[in-house]
Amino acid sequence: MQRTIRYLATGIVMIMICNSAQAQQALQQTLWEEGEGNYESYRIPSIIVTTNGTLLAFAEGRKEPGDTGDIDLLLRRSFDNGKTWTDPQVVWDDGGNTCGNPNPVVDHETGRIFLFSTWNLGRDTEKEIITKTSDDTRRPYVLYSDDDGETWSEPRELTDCCKESSWGWYATGPGIGIQLEHGKYEGRLVIPANHSYDERDSTVYRRFEDYGYGAHVLISDDHGETWQKSEPIRPGTNESQLAELNDGTLMMNMRSYNGEYSRAVATSADGGETWSEIEHDHQLVESQVQASIFNYGDYKDKMLMLFSNPAVPVGRTHMTLRASFDEGQHWAFAKLIHGGPSAYSSLARLPNGNIGLFFEAGTDSPYETMRFVSFPPDMLFSEKKIGNQ
């Protein structure tokens, strides 16, 4: 057997098996492929497991290029840990307008699934929305399902409670939200989100000269009846995901525009209402792209935390899964999932205990396919191949 050992810039050892005869024990499927079906392309993966053990995989169906335009929210479901999937269903279609950025959360006390999304007029471009020259603005919405995603409520707008009037762009996640399990705020639903805002400080990152990027969360303590927004986390942050630590502390992991080529991190001791100053985790190399962080839970009497992203400082390639046994202080293990072009991702713990990863990947472009892989966590710490390396 031929073995190649690569040393990453962070000092982590990544082992890759180069023997093509090595048996692949991971389950791999393509859930959406560019040009197939009723859409030009598919983007923005989000996967979550319901209280009944159903896997819900969300995506955007895009009828034209870009982050605005005619975009619909799509869903596929699996009842057997991802072995088979239902045909795609449209969750939200508003004609030629944008219904995107899926970010679900499961209320494990009620079983209700909330799906957060954002809407804008399809004719308004991202630049126009950020610079506030658009005909309308970007608006947050929430839908819910009480039957494991088979049917969904009408979208409910949350602009008044969850968006400052001075913000232009707005995005939920993308990825998933969490329900808190520890401490004073147990049961609280927390949704990661981000926004653009007026920024005059020339020493920090600014988009289109006068606008910055910030992250925040949305919070509900009454099972989704009402929502409120947290204080912002700034500067130079947006697409974000959350993990809860054992003592109830929240850790926000964010895309960074601060020139550090790594993920930005902030913590909250009050259930997400206020946040610490930003720090950068240089173990988590990135090139300004979305990522997923996920608290897998107990694994061989240790608490396992997972992180996935394209682990390169420039470009979008090398989808990599990392593991930590000390709540993200050290990421001592890394596994290459896809060595080619890759971009956004979303992690889940499947009912059978497998790790599930839903991500964008391709041969020439990161956006050719949306793929699902699942595998036992033992494979993270072995020489067994998981994805297309």
pLDDT digits (tens, 9 = 90+) for 175-206: 999 999 999 999 999 999 999 999 999 999 99
Q: Is the pLDDT of residue 281 over 90?
A: yes
What share of the chain has pLDDT > 90, as a percent?
91
Alpha helices in the chain (DSSP H): 126-130, 159-162
Q: How far is it, in rounded angstroms, from Cα 241 to Cα 263?
A: 11
Q: For the residues 6-19, what does the mean pLDDT come to?
A: 38
27, with CB counted inside 10 A (0-12, 13-18, 19+), is: middle
- pLDDT at residue 270 tops 70: yes
Residues 81-95, mean pLDDT to the nearest whole number? 98
pTM given for the model: 0.93
Distance from C-alpha of 110 to C-alpha of 220, rounded to nearest angstrom: 14
Binned at pLDDT 50, 70 and 90, residue 1 comes out as very low
Average pLDDT over residues 161-175: 97
Amino acid at 15: I
Cα separation, 226 vs 248, whole angstroms: 22
* Sign of the CA dihedral with 43 first, then 333, 55, and 176 last: negative
For residue 17, pLDDT over 70 is answered with no
Cis omega (within 30 of 0) on the bond before 192? no
pLDDT of amino acid 387:
67
Cα 387 to Cα 28, 299, 307, 343, 353, distances in angstroms: 8, 22, 16, 15, 18
CA 354 to chain centre: 19
Q: Over range 132-137, report the average pLDDT.
A: 98
287: pLDDT strictly greater than 50: yes
Domains and CATH numbers, the chain: 27-381 (2.120.10.10)
Candidates 341, 376, 347, 345; CA nearest to 361 is: 341
pLDDT band with cut points at 50, 70 and 90 for residue 388: low
Burial 105-131 (b: 16+ CB within 10 A, else e): bbbeeeebbbbbbbbbbbebbbebbbb
Give dist(CA 265, CA 242) in Å, integer: 10
Nearest-angstrom CA–CA distance, 327 and 306: 9
- Report the pLDDT value the prediction gives residue 383, as an integer from 0 to 100: 86
Which stretches of 121-261 are assigned E, i.e. beta strand?
Answer: 139-145, 156-157, 170-172, 178-179, 189-198, 211-220, 228-229, 237-244, 250-256
